[in-house]
Chains A and B, each alone.
Chain A
Amino acid sequence: MNTLLRPLLVLFTLLTLLTGVIYPLAVTGIGRVAFANQVSGSLVMRDGKAVGSALISQSFQEPKYFWGRLSATSPMPNNAAASSGSNLGPTNPALIDAVRGHIDALKKADPGNALPIPVDLVTASGSGLDPHVSPAAALYQVARVARERHWDPVKLRELVLDHVEGPQWWIFGEPRVNVLLLNLALDRAQ
């Protein structure tokens, strides 16, 4: 039995130490030295205070801000301590109700807007924490935000286009706009 139990127990212990203690601590050490900002959450500061993370969405419902994706987290949307998607199936009536409800909210805040509604603006993200919207979804809201802030829509459109990130290295992913960073830029320019 000793030829079976000794390797079993010793290897389990040693390999657990290697993979469960030494390896994660080594990664943590490298991260602290090389990527101090990223490993602690890519925090965004304003007046010396953390106001969010550049990677995590926040709730925006006031018309003077750009709005982001829907968030299905509970108990409140954009809860970064309980990520979740809606998990609503494509034929579920609750999905259609959620989309319709958000379309109504958009129309109410900007009755004159006749642009087609970009799909990402009225659907929930996978994580509930998606920090981005498509450029189309940001441009859709320019008229409303410009009116609320008494801005020139052309100038605001330029600010939005400045915030469009293209596909990474020109080949990976989709063009997108970080909603929190755009809204912070708005507040700064005010």
Chain B
Amino acid sequence: MTGQAGFSLLLFLGVLAALGYPLGIYMARIAQTAPIGGLLGKLERAIYRVAGVDPAHDMPWARYAVSVLLFNALGVVVVYLVQRLQLWLPLNPQGMANVAADSAFNTAVSFVTNTNWQGYAGESTLSYFTQMLALTGQNFFSAATGIAVAFALIRGFARRSAQGIGNFWVDLTRSTLYILVPLSLVLAVIFMGQGVIQNFQGYKQVQALESVTYTQPKLDVAGEPLKDTQGNTLTETLTAQTQTLAMGPVASQEAIKMLGTNGGGFFNANSAHPFENPTPLTNFLQMIAMFLIPAALCFTFGRMVGDSRQGWAVFSAMTAIFVVMAVVAMWAEGQGNPLLTPLGVDQGHSALQAGGNMEGKETRFGIVGSALFATITTAASCGAVNAMHDSFTPLGGMVPMWLIQLGEVVFGGVGSGLYGMLIFAIMAVFVAGLMIGRTPEYIGKKIQSFEMKMTSIVILVTPFLVLVGTAIAVMLEAGRLGIFNPGAHGFSEVLYALSSASNNNGSAFAGLSANTPFYNTLLAIAMWFGRFAFIVPVLAIAGSLAKKKRIEATAGTLPTHGALFVALLVGTVVLVGALTYVPALALGPVIEHLQLHAIH
């Protein structure tokens, strides 16, 4: 298994760099306002004419921020309304009812903020119209918003003595038109070839080989469970001769779900569902797709600031953390569950089976394909899952949780990964500046009091949301009611949920019953502020940096492209993440790990 794991990891990183580098150079061209020729160029200019946008107009940071906020707030309203009215809208062959207010609000915020946390089960809640128009649309827009903010911050470094940081409408349109739609189209076609479904038919009944007998609670006309005189729930035994296959326009949503690091599945089981992720090849492509744009943006950064080594340095720091985490996750899951060994279960790896901790995992992906996917989806702010993180071993589950808590700067979300990592780079040069007693600079820009204040807000806002939110949830009855697994693992479920929402990841320890008014509201607040209380200070930094002159490097300047800086950057990320979260992690996965190995 060690050989297979190492090979998979190397193959993944090789393909990622080979595809990410040219894409990054291409994206640097998209970030310029120079017109693009051809049909798409004509379409772009037509859109600006109708919208009354002057592409040459540069926005100061505050204007840019207001545009971002308004566009995303409008998204929340539209996605909310579509869900609340879906019964009366077209493309609803299953007659899905209108979504409840708290769930619709949570989902609207979730998809707008690029979190794509799912309190609902897709195939039993949402119409094709909601999935296709509202959710797929937001998958594109939230990713384009991330790219736009990353472009704006890069311009802050690249420009000198400038008032503006770009035009949000232009960045939004160009990211969608030239990057996201073409990539998604290609990926969706490959997915369909592998078996991902794409249709608008009603759910299909097929004649199963064997009938299934099952019991379920008896319901009254209002859909409430019936009880006998003693208050016990009445059950009925039924036999099903057929199997119902959920259908829908999945491939088109699946492609942007991965490329946009959104992660909201068409189905409840997300990328574990064979109709979303049918083969090991689609699994590999989904993993590449999650990291593709975030990795490419590192190179875009290097190109735009005129020093490609700066991009490689950021890319290297991300890769270093990622590789360590992936190895730990694959190792932990490969060990299996010691409680199953005494029952005579064979968890060893051989030519005939993947072995390891297979609860919640799919046979076609095995341990390597599942643990690697889990590491990538949480390093990125994707949150798609191809295995149930709740059933991971304690250490195997702690890797995804901690990667989320690091702020998803290890490649991270589309755009958000790079701008998050650049904030940590500012922090790193600041720490280094304190040590040697010089004014810190990064990419030729002096880092001063305003930038550091904003950096502090950015770095503190998500830990505040995660830790205070978790504390509230475990103190209140409404929060504790949602917990599914007993003991320390139950606490991990709540901590994971708040970490995932505040950092806009969207994956879950999904045993937690989060589709309640309490969690829908708490998590929606965490998602909104985790996204926009982060973006606004980042744009403020971009605006402030753009105004500054660019100073030439001298003998006293800390070079930010070498191994020393990469180590400093990795150290800063890991230290902030560890100092903030080790106490909380000790109450969840760490205790559970000790218990698991003490009782066997």
Contact = CB atoms under 8 A, between A and B. Distances in A.
Interface stretch (A9-17, A142-150, A151-159): A9-17
Interface stretch (B189-197, B444-452, B517-525): B189-197
A53 B245 contact: yes
B351 A100 contact: no
B176 A4 contact: no
B369 interface: yes
A89 B596 CA distance: 11
Which of A52, A84, A120, A123 gathers most chain B CB within 10 Å?
Answer: A120
Contacts of B596: 90-91
Nearest to B169: A7
B249 A28 contact: yes
Contacts of A176: 363-364
Interface string A31-63: 100110011111100000111111110111110
A109 interface: no
B222 interface: no
A190 interface: no
A175 B351 contact: yes
Contact of B246 (A39, A51, A80): A80
Given A31-B192, A76-B240, A92-B486, A85 B360 contact: yes
B473 interface: no
A41 B197 contact: yes
A141 interface: no
B210 interface: yes
B280 A172 contact: yes
A62 B210 contact: yes
B181 A18 contact: yes
Nearest to A169: B281
A61 B365 CA distance: 25
Interface stretch (B201-209, B424-432, B532-540, B545-553): B201-209
A134 B510 contact: no
Contacts of A135: 352-353
Nearest to A29: B198
Interface string B121-143: 10110000000111011011100
Interface string A107-138: 00000000011111011111111111111110
Nearest to A82: B124
Which of B208, B387, B488 gathers most chain A CB within 10 Å?
Answer: B208
B274 A127 contact: yes
Interface residues of A, number: 107
A85 B269 contact: yes
B387 A87 contact: no
Contacts, number: 394
Given A4-B67, A8-B67, A28-B198, A125 B207 contact: no
Which of A19, A40, A69, A139 gathers most chain B CB within 10 Å?
Answer: A19
Contacts of A18: 176-177, 181
Contacts of A79: 243-244
Contact of A41 (B208, B275, B344): B275
Name the prevailing secondary structure of the B interface residues.
mixed
A14 B47 contact: yes
A128 B267 CA distance: 12
B352 A81 contact: no
A129 B359 contact: no
B176 A83 contact: no
A19 B262 CA distance: 15
B147 to A, nearest CB: 14
B361 A86 contact: no
Contacts of B121: 82-84
Nearest to B247: A41
Which of B210, B356, B510 gathers most chain A CB within 10 Å?
Answer: B210
A41 B245 contact: yes
Contacts of A31: 189, 192, 198-199, 251
Interface in B464-496: 484-489, 492
B343 A55 contact: no
A116 B348 CA distance: 10
Contact of A27 (B71, B192, B194, B343): B192
Interface string B342-380: 011111001111111111111111100110000000000
Nearest to B279: A168
A105 interface: no
Interface stretch (B17-25, B156-164, B389-397, B575-583): B389-397
B592 interface: yes
A88 B47 contact: no
B209 A180 contact: yes
Contacts of B278: 42, 55
Which of A52, A87, A169 gathers most chain B CB within 10 Å?
Answer: A87
A2 B51 CA distance: 10
B75 interface: yes
A81 B203 contact: yes
Contact of A96 (B140, B199, B339, B488): B339
Contact of B212 (A8, A14, A77, A180): A77
Contact of B353 (A42, A49, A125, A137): A137
A113 to B, nearest CB: 11
A134 B337 CA distance: 18
Which of A6, A129, A184 gathers most chain B CB within 10 Å?
Answer: A129
A149 to B, nearest CB: 14
A134 B352 contact: yes
A81 B244 contact: yes
Contacts of A69: 363
A95 B197 CA distance: 32
Contact of B275 (A55, A76, A133, A174): A55
Contacts of A168: 279-281
Interface in B381-406: 385-388, 390-394
Interface of A: 2-4, 6-12, 14-16, 18-21, 23-24, 26-28, 30-31, 34-35, 38-43, 49-56, 58-62, 65, 69, 74-93, 95-96, 99-100, 103, 116-120, 122-137, 139, 167-169, 171-176, 180, 183-184, 187
Given A20-B136, A175-B351, A184-B209, 5 more contacts: A23-B252, A26-B185, A75-B238, A89-B485, A172-B369
7 contacts: A27-B189, A31-B199, A56-B245, A81-B246, A84-B268, A116-B345, A125-B360
